[in-house]
Structure 1
Amino acid sequence: MSALSLSALEPHLSDRDIRILEDLERFRFLTTRQLQRLHLAVVPLGGHATISSATRGTTRILGRLEQLGVITRLARRIGGIRHGSSLIVWQLGPAGDRFLRARRGDPKRRRYEEPGRTFLSHTLAVADAAVALIEQANAGRFELLELELEPTCWRSFTSSSAATVSLKPDLLAVTADATTETHSFVEIDLGSEHLPAVLRKCRVYQRYHDTRIEQEGRGLFPAVVWVVSDPLRATRIRTAIDTDRHLASELFWIITPESMSRQLAPYPAAVIT
């Protein structure tokens, strides 16, 4: 995008529009509903009084941005057409990518392609967890001191055999109130991974914990919170971790989505060192 075309586009974008583009770059994919929760919150006094009115407002904004070419919708919908516009999935469009890169002087171009169903479902589930934390922080329940998505939250370390090992959490979240901070590596599990794969990733967390790299920089090691699809899955993963002699079971929390917000919020718990 040339300087001239950038200057021609910029007057058509409000501050909120630009924040929407930045969120699509950060999260990769977001539904209309997730974008509404982030940018047109339901506020009975002085804002949108209902979810439906907020969704209509969001749909109008996204339609205008789509016409400008700065965002694009995916061909695939999540949940089927019966759910309407709220579950249309959006990503940054070519013009939006060029616009954001030009603003920060970044020459590196990012490729945007139609994702597979499993990858998309997982990416949106991770986004949903992050959006929930942002909503609660905006509502004043706690402070959100850190919220790192992939790949920012990834960690690399050297194994005992001198090989480089990559740890790839889905999220890193740090919440706080007046007296407590809660640090969490978050794994969103949709039930598609076999238990051996889950245990292999737990062992990478254990190995990273044992390097003490995170503890030296942070003062503690974040709890590893697996958010799983149902109680039966939670029980199976919990049992597998507890019986694995390579794992310190207290490092890992296995929860369902219903208790996610409570677990990631500030809580008085023993520090894992």
Structure 2
Amino acid sequence: MNGLRASWAKVASLAERLSERDKEIIGHLARVRLLTGAQLERLSFTHHSDEHQSHIRRRVLKRLVDLELVGALERPIGGVRAGSAGLIYCLGRMGQRMADLLNGSTPNGRTRSPRTPGDMFLRHTLAISETFVSLVELSRQTATKLRTFHTEPNCWWPDGHGGFLRPDGLVIVEDDNYDATSWLEIDQGSEHLGRIRAKIAAYERFAMTGTEGANGVLPHVVFATPGDSRADAIAREIANQGTLRMTYRVTTQEKLAATLFRELESS
């Protein structure tokens, strides 16, 4: 038996010993790549009382790290005071194989040891993760549900010109009557506004092709920014483009989840 098959057999054996919550955590990390301890607590440990949530989360994640299903990055968020809630988690090497198994796919290339990315990538990815967590939380409180949440590259879409539109995410929310599809652009305030114009131009070129986008519709494009002043600047850029074929929204990252749910109101 070669090394790949031996590893796959070990993963299959380990999968039989995992709880549904273990599998859920692996699925969340496979979906968004990075999550803090606090974000994972909000996703997978809310059925415990507040006084026990953090303790159980620490114990469960330590076990998953020891099994190499989950990896903890070297750089926490929030400094020393954040404690384990500020630790950043990703899939470990065994977890990458486990995600393939749980998705019903075959081993997909080599696994990689967890590595701490650069600060800009880290914060951008965690901003996308926070959108996912907030949408899950809102889904628990309302009749509107999160049906789809894809991150790059799974959210990329053929642009009709031999390339791809490359949004940061694809979100589909639904209620009993409608669904709403949005491409996400998570802005960190670091890009020149010329880059925003270029993104709008790329979406408009796609709209001109007359082809369908994700979910068989032309999704709305939602820009989410760190704060109101940046949101105002991007909104002015969109307004300055004149008549547009696609629908654009601008909001802050803090209000993004609620904005996406409100998209159903205009469906």
More moved, 19-28 vs 197-206: 19-28
Q: 2:221: which partner in 1?
A: 224
Q: 2:238: which partner in 1?
A: 241
Q: 1:20: which partner in 2?
A: 25
Q: Contact 1:242/1:249 (CA < 8 Å) preserved in 2?
A: no
Q: 2:117: which partner in 1?
A: 115
Q: 2:174: which partner in 1?
A: 176
Q: 1:211: which partner in 2?
A: 209
**Pairing of 1:254-269 with structure 2 (within 5 A):** 254-266=250-262, 267-269=264-266
Listed one character per residue, the Cα deviations across residues 33-73 of structure 1 (whole Å, up to 9, x for unaligned) are: 111122112xxxxx3222x5322211110011111121110
The aligned amino acid for 2:107 is D
**Pairing of 1:36-115 with structure 2 (within 5 A):** 36-41=41-46, 47-50=47-50, 52-101=51-100, 104-111=105-112, 112-115=114-117
The aligned amino acid for 2:91 is L
Q: Distance in 2 between matches of 1:107 and 1:176?
A: 31
Q: Contact 1:153/1:172 (CA < 8 Å) preserved in 2?
A: yes
Q: Contact 2:38/2:86 (CA < 8 Å) preserved in 1?
A: yes
Q: Distance in 1 between matches of 2:68 and 2:215?
A: 42
- Return the match for 2:156 from 135, 150, 154: 154
Q: Distance in 1 between matches of 2:110 and 2:42?
A: 28
Q: 1:44: which partner in 2?
A: none
Q: 1:130, CA displacement in angstroms?
A: 1.2
Change (3 A) 1:195 1:64: same
Listed one character per residue, the Cα deviations across residues 74-99 of structure 1 (whole Å, up to 9, x for unaligned) are: 01112222211111001111122233
Q: 1:192: which partner in 2?
A: 190
Q: 1:31: which partner in 2?
A: 36
The aligned amino acid for 2:96 is D
Q: Contact 1:29/1:124 (CA < 8 Å) preserved in 2?
A: yes
Listed one character per residue, the Cα deviations across residues 240-259 of structure 1 (whole Å, up to 9, x for unaligned) are: 121135x6187211111343
Alignment TM-score, normalising by the size of structure 2: 0.87
User: RMSD between aligned alpha carbons?
Assistant: 2.3
Q: Distance in 2 between matches of 1:121 and 1:137?
A: 24
Q: Structure 2: which 5+ residue stretches go unaligned?
A: none
Q: Contact 2:207/2:246 (CA < 8 Å) preserved in 1?
A: no
Alignment TM-score, normalising by the size of structure 1: 0.85
Q: Distance in 2 between matches of 1:258 and 1:89?
A: 20
Listed one character per residue, the Cα deviations across residues 196-232 of structure 1 (whole Å, up to 9, x for unaligned) are: 11111111111112222226x7453211111111111
Q: In the comparison of the two structures, how many residue pairs are matched?
A: 258
Q: Structure 1: which 5+ residue stretches go unaligned?
A: 42-46
SS in 2 for 1:265: helix
The aligned amino acid for 2:127 is A
